[in-house]
Amino acid sequence: MKAITLDSASPSKLYLNEVQEGKCKNGEVKISIRAAALNHRDEWCRKGLYPNIQDGITLGSDGAGVVEEVGDGVDLGWLGKQVIINPAIHWGSDQKAQGKDFEILGMPRNGTLAEKVIVPADRIVLKPEHLSFETAAALPLAGVTAYRALFYHGLVKSGEKVLVTGFGGGVAQFAFQFALATGAKVFVSSSSEAKRSTALKLGAEAAFDYKEKEWAEEALQSSGGIDLIIDSAAGNTFNNLLHVLNPGGRLIFYGATRGNINELNARKIFWNQLKIQGTTMGSDQDFEEMIQFVSQHEINPILDQVFPFEKFESAFDRMRDGKQLGKIVLVP
């Protein structure tokens, strides 16, 4: 079967390979992939910036498809069902944080950028009916990350002012859509004029260019202060985010695209009673709640582009260059 595997010797560091199709073991299911989606994690793996990466592994955490085979101990009723895959494996029983055995589908375990993938049967859920395979594939990793950031940690409420930074990002688009569906007033930042204009059309209150020096002051003035920020950039401009927050505000971040934060405005944090919280993906409970929320509000993930597997290089390069608005999907 076809699979996009990591290959550090090839110029693109990836290879559209012909690999052996595995057989299900006890408690596993085999999914015939109809669509898979990229996350920035796949690009970090391609760049060699992820721990314990290995050549030959099939990348991809997100996928949707049809159950084609079930291992011993798995309900035969799953056969032929249209499903999406929860890529968070072995989170554990603590809602507060993942356990030490936690892993993410698509490194070190073979992932979804293949014609077939084998996963533990408890990782699949029925595809919400309003979603196509392409939009369903876009949902899992970014959707659960945004959901946990916004609801479990962020405790977002209707009417609150929420700022989602880097609107073009996969997680950011879900944070934006989920916050809007909750009845929050949502503001965004983006380096791209086209993306800012799309955000305004989709219901953002205002959109700021985080590359502009004075953007934080502009955001503070125009919003009157933000209650909750969802961020993935961190880095040395983190203090700008503190500047925009109302007293008692919350800042939840799930990435460090701009690297570590060298200097934090400590006085601002304690005097304004700010909460700063890190978050990663989500528990099984977060995933179930996220799927219910998406079904209830009939949320349709924003797709950037759908590529055939053969065009994997263009798909990965688009993500590397940050050109996408929404999720990049690949189909076998």
Ligand X SMILES: NC(=O)c1ccc[n+]([C@@H]2O[C@H](COP(=O)([O-])OP(=O)(O)OC[C@H]3O[C@@H](n4cnc5c(N)ncnc54)[C@H](OP(=O)(O)O)[C@@H]3O)[C@@H](O)[C@H]2O)c1
Binding interface with ligand X (CB under 6 A): 39-41, 44, 142, 145, 165-172, 189-192, 195, 210, 232-233, 254-255, 257-258, 280-281, 319, 322
How is the beta sheet containing 207-208 ordered, strand by strand? 207-208, 185-189, 161-164, 226-231, 245-253, 275-278
Nearer to ligand X, 58 or 324 (CB): 324
Asked if 141 and 41 touch (Cβ cutoff 8 Å), the reply is: yes
Nearer to ligand X, 120 or 169 (CB): 169
Nearer to ligand X, 1 or 261 (CB): 261
Nearer to ligand X, 81 or 243 (CB): 243
User: 280 vs 22, 100, 264, 286, CA distance in Å?
Assistant: 30, 14, 21, 11
Q: What is the smallest separation between the CB atom of 68 and ligand X, expressed in angstroms?
A: 28
Asked if 272 and 245 touch (Cβ cutoff 8 Å), the reply is: yes
Q: What is the smallest separation between the CB atom of 41 and ligand X, expressed in angstroms?
A: 6
Identity (one letter) of the amino acid at 85? I
Locus of tokens 């460090």: 256
Q: What is the smallest separation between the CB atom of 71 and ligand X, expressed in angstroms?
A: 28
Q: What is the smallest separation between the CB atom of 88 and ligand X, expressed in angstroms?
A: 9
- DSSP readout, 202-216? TT-S-EE-TTSTTHH
Nearer to ligand X, 145 or 182 (CB): 145
∠ CA 98-101-105, nearest 5°, is 85
Q: What is the smallest separation between the CB atom of 152 and ligand X, expressed in angstroms?
A: 13
